[in-house]
Amino acid sequence: MNYRTLASLALAGGTALAALTALGPPAAAAPFDPCSAISQGKLRYPTGSAQHLVLAVSSGYASNYVVVTECAKKGRSWTKLTETEGRAGANGFARPGQKREGDGKSPTGSFTFTEAFGRGNPGTRLPYRTLRESGDCWGATPGESHYNDYYSGTCHPADENLSAIMQLGSYRQAAVIDYNRPKPVPGRGSAIFFHVGGKAPTAGCIAIDESRLRGIMRTLAPGDRIIMGPRSELFRG
């Protein structure tokens, strides 16, 4: 290739580069809004009779970082109310139907909130249990009569001592996620809650900052839902 050809290409390239520069940088992709995506019919999971939804969305099955978004239903559309960062199970999310006891994964799917508990009712319309200093437990032993349900008394070693965990902070406020309930299948997982935290991964729950959690709990009522899992699993497109 001779010098004239090289010079001509360089000049053309420089002109093209100048034209591209004049157009400015490429537009950044709009942040993902799950509430808008639901309104557009992109959600793969049911919303049931919910008037408020909590979306806990990760970037993939292996990630335990989630963006937690609260959506309110207005007519046929869903509007974003709040958004915050949170954490899921240490080992990310289980694929639908594959959650197992002790796997360190959060279940994927759409689940109602059945009740809530903690130090005192922050204003939720969910049935609320005020925990005592001791004696409040949650069954996590497959095959036992209280598996994946509340009981009072002396907590069995393999079960969750709600009272003690409240003292440590995580259960100062919590809403019960209706996963593997009310008729639990032994070994499919238990004690999946929406609770205080957000800095460290959980054993399978969803956790966010306490003030944010209290605010969301005040909007929740029976029939409201949490939809949780990787974005590619939850939404089309």
**Residue among 192, 183, 203 nearest 228 (CA):** 192
pLDDT at 149 over 60: yes
Please tell me the predicted confidence (pLDDT) of residue 29: 52
pLDDT at 18 over 70: no
C-alpha–C-alpha distance, residues 226 and 106, integer Å: 12
Is residue 215 within 8 Å of residue 104, measured between CB atoms?
no
pLDDT at 50 over 70: yes
Mean pLDDT across the stretch 80-88?
A: 98
Query: What domains are there in the chain, each with its CATH number?
Result: 31-114+177-234 (2.40.440)
Mean pLDDT across the stretch 2-9?
A: 36
C-alpha–C-alpha distance, residues 181 and 208, integer Å: 23
C-alpha–C-alpha distance, residues 83 and 96, integer Å: 25
Please tell me the predicted confidence (pLDDT) of residue 235: 98
Please tell me the predicted confidence (pLDDT) of residue 11: 40
pLDDT tens digits for range 167-205:
999 999 999 999 999 999 999 999 999 999 999 999 999
Please tell me the predicted confidence (pLDDT) of residue 237: 85
Please tell me the predicted confidence (pLDDT) of residue 19: 38
Task: Count the neighbouring beta carbons within 10 Å of the beta carbon of residue 161.
Answer: 19
The pLDDT > 70 percentage for the chain reads 87
DSSP string for 17-46: HHHHHHT-SPPPPPPP-HHHHHHTT-B-S-
Please tell me the predicted confidence (pLDDT) of residue 25: 52
Please tell me the predicted confidence (pLDDT) of residue 17: 37
Q: How much is the pTM?
A: 0.87
Q: Residue 51: helix, strand or coil by DSSP?
A: coil
Please tell me the predicted confidence (pLDDT) of residue 75: 93
CA 193 to mean position of chain CA atoms = 10
pLDDT at 148 over 90: yes
The strand pairing partners of 87, in sequence order, are 65, 207
Mean pLDDT across the stretch 207-225?
A: 98
Average pLDDT, the chain: 90
Mean pLDDT across the stretch 74-99?
A: 97
Give the residue with greater pLDDT, 5 vs 121.
121
The strand pairing partners of 125, in sequence order, are none
Please tell me the predicted confidence (pLDDT) of residue 15: 42
With tokens 């989630």, the residue in question is 66
Is residue 87 within 8 Å of residue 197, measured between CB atoms?
yes
Please tell me the predicted confidence (pLDDT) of residue 31: 85
Give the residue with greater pLDDT, 67 vs 17.
67
Q: Buried b vs exposed e over 75-114: b needs ≥16 C-beta within 10 Å?
A: eeebeeeebbebbbbebbbbeeeebebeebbbbbbbbbbe
